[in-house]
Amino acid sequence: MELRGKQKQYLKKEAHHMNPLFQVGKGGLNEEMLIQIGEALEKRELLKITLLQNTDEETEDVAAAIEENLQATVVQQIGRTLVLFKPSSKEKNRRYSTVVEKI
């Protein structure tokens, strides 16, 4: 999903006070973590991921892998923190996507 400026601005505002839900550490971004991130995005639609200092992964590489494998959108990248958005396929989990569609 390609987001416009106002849509990204809204999602950044909503994610500002969130705590990171996942941390990519020494093990890097593996298949199991991708599955868990996908499940969390299905329920929450918007979440933060942090890369720890001891990881060998680059933030851009992690962002590209998540976008490619999960079809999620990286809304924002600040330092070693990523904000991800993916509209939920279930109507009951749609909190942010209904607002984003109207903007």
In tens, the pLDDT along 42-95 reads: 999 999 999 999 999 999 999 999 999 999 999 999 999 999 999 999 988 999
Is the CA virtual torsion 49, 21, 10, 13 positive or negative?
negative
pLDDT surpassing 80 at residue 1: no
Q: 80: which 2 tokens?
A: 């070693």
Rounded to whole angstroms, how far apart are CA atoms 25 and 53? Answer: 8
Confirm if 4 and 103 have CB atoms less than 8 A apart: yes
Going by pLDDT thresholds of 50, 70 and 90, the confidence category of residue 103 is: confident
Residue written as token pair 């909190």: 95
8 phi and psi angles, rounded to 5 deg: -65, -40
Q: What domains, with CATH codes, occur in the chain?
A: 5-97 (3.30.110.60)
DSSP 70: H
Burial class (CB in 10 A: 0-12, 13-18, 19+), 46: buried
